[in-house]
Amino acid sequence: MQDINDKELTRRNFFGLIGHTSIGTSIAGSAVITYKYLNPNVLFEPPSKFKIGKADDFAEDSIKFIEAKKLFVINKEGGYQAISAVCTHLGCTVKLALENQFHCPCHGSKFDEHGNVISGPAPRPLRHYKLTLSRDGSLVVDMKKEVDGEFKLVV
């Protein structure tokens, strides 16, 4: 009986081996692609509606930064406002500067205390989000609902 290692590799056997390897690789690649199609990577977004604390947590005439949500909560002139801390130029996080202005450290845009553009490359004012009061007295921000800069939640 002839050992498999003793078998001579002919041209016909070589091309047969290449053909079978190509078919096997194609089937394996198709299986991987099919598996990835049937089981996609899903990116779950955080909820757009969330509580930020009780109304009493925000002192009168104050601006409080909520870092986890990139949001400023303003309690002035008898009402609450939620303003995005994301610059409308390139998405950097703005900082609270002197005289209740917001300053973008990336490219120098400046916004007034209502989020309106004072100077810089930012094309639009900062976004304002709808605030509501929950039954337990907490302020609730809905980041899917933008409001104009005049909107204030009066408690």
Mapped onto helix, strand or coil, the DSSP state of residue 143 is strand
Confidence of residue 54 (pLDDT cuts 50, 70, 90): confident
Query: Can you name the CATH fold of 49-147?
Result: Rieske Iron-sulfur Protein (2.102.10)
Beta-bridge partners for 50? 141
The pLDDT score that the predictor gives to residue 23 is: 95
Confidence of residue 18 (pLDDT cuts 50, 70, 90): very high
Mean pLDDT taken over the chain: 87
Whether residue 5 has pLDDT greater than 80: no
At 55-89, the pLDDT tens digits run: 888 888 888 898 888 999 988 888 899 999 999 88
Boundaries of every domain in the chain: 4-38, 49-147
